[in-house]
């Protein structure tokens, strides 16, 4: 899948704020208030259950963020949104810097060793305290490879759809 059409998980609706339909959100953008500049939002409550929302207004409130969605003007309507994930289209995000990648752009890449041994494809990534980890699957086998550029990840070529890693295929 190309970057066009991809979505990036940017946050989640985590609670209610007041009685006029405002919601509390968790944002994973940097800075966290930037989530309001990426619109429309695609709210996902379950696989295949999505709602596109444009015109979201929001602000910092205490240690969190609050938002008001168009057409949501009471607490009951807002309560139905709690727990929904907030996605935005990948093309709305700024281009990554040199040697930086959005995780969504890495998903699906073919992964090969420096000797050319195919290990599978990037399933997803996750963060740890020390470094990010690439999950590579080839059918039934799953490998966890630290995403440390220069050490384990030797190159990433998005146009060719390939990541080269320094990794023992037996591990």
Report the pLDDT value the prediction gives residue 47, as an integer from 0 to 100: 87
Q: Which residue has the tokens 């929904």?
A: 84
pTM (predicted TM-score) = 0.80
Range among 42-51, 65-74, 122-131 with highest mean pLDDT value: 65-74
CATH number at residue 133: 2.30.30.240
In this structure, what are the phi and psi dihedrals at residue 109, rounded to the nearest 5 degrees?
-65, 145
For residue 124, list its beta bridge partners: 135
Report the pLDDT value the prediction gives residue 4, as an integer from 0 to 100: 52
The yes-or-no verdict on residue 3 having pLDDT over 60 is no
Co-location of 86 and 159 in the same domain: no
Co-location of 88 and 110 in the same domain: no
End-of-domain residue from the set 92, 117, 145:
92
Average pLDDT value for the chain: 94
The yes-or-no verdict on residue 1 having pLDDT over 70 is no
* Cβ neighbours of 142 (radius 10 Å): 11
For residues 99 and 88, the answer to whether their CB atoms sit within 8 Å is: no
Report the pLDDT value the prediction gives residue 64, as an integer from 0 to 100: 94
Alpha carbon 155 to its chain centroid, in Å, reads 21
Report the pLDDT value the prediction gives residue 87, as an integer from 0 to 100: 96
Co-location of 66 and 110 in the same domain: no
44-48, 52-56, 108-112, 135-139: range with lowest mean pLDDT: 44-48
Beta strand residue intervals within the chain, DSSP E? 7-17, 22-27, 41-46, 49-53, 57-61, 64-68, 85-89, 110-113, 118-127, 132-138, 141-146, 153-157, 162-165
Report the pLDDT value the prediction gives residue 140, as an integer from 0 to 100: 86
The yes-or-no verdict on residue 104 having pLDDT over 80 is yes
Q: Is 74 inside any structural domain?
A: yes
pLDDT digits (tens, 9 = 90+) for 55-74: 999 999 999 999 999 999 99
Report the pLDDT value the prediction gives residue 48, as an integer from 0 to 100: 87
Report the pLDDT value the prediction gives residue 5, as an integer from 0 to 100: 74
Total tally of structural domains belonging to the chain: 2
Per-residue pLDDT, averaged over 71-80, amounts to 96
End-of-domain residue from the set 71, 92, 113:
92
Co-location of 32 and 12 in the same domain: yes
Co-location of 121 and 159 in the same domain: yes
Per-residue pLDDT, averaged over 109-131, amounts to 95
Q: Distance between CA 130 and CA 146 in Å, rounded?
A: 9
pLDDT digits (tens, 9 = 90+) for 7-39: 999 999 999 999 999 999 999 998 999 999 999
Q: Could you tell me the residue range of the domain that residue 53 belongs to?
A: 7-92
CATH number at residue 58: 2.40.30.60
The yes-or-no verdict on residue 2 having pLDDT over 90 is no
For residues 55 and 39, the answer to whether their CB atoms sit within 8 Å is: yes
């Amino acid at each position: 899948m190309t970057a066009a059409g991809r979505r990036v998980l940017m946050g989640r609706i985590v609670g209610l704020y007041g009685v006029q339909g405002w919601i509390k959100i968790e944002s994973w953008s940097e800075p966290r208030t930037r989530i309001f500049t990426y619109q429309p939002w695609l709210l996902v409550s379950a696989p295949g259950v999505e709602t596109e929302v444009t015109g979201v207004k929001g602000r910092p409130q205490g240690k969190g963020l609050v938002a008001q969605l168009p057409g949501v003007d009471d607490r009951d309507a807002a309560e139905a949104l709690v727990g929904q994930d907030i996605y935005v289209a990948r093309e709305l995000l700024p281009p990554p810097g040199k040697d930086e990648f959005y995780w969504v752009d890495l998903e699906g890449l073919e992964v090969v060793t420096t000797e050319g041994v195919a290990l599978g494809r990037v399933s997803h990534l996750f963060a740890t305290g020390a470094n990010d980890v690439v999950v590579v699957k080839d059918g039934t086998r799953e490998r966890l490879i630290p995403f440390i550029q220069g050490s384990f990840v030797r190159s990433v070529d998005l146009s060719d759809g390939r990541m080269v890693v320094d990794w023992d295929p037996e591990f």
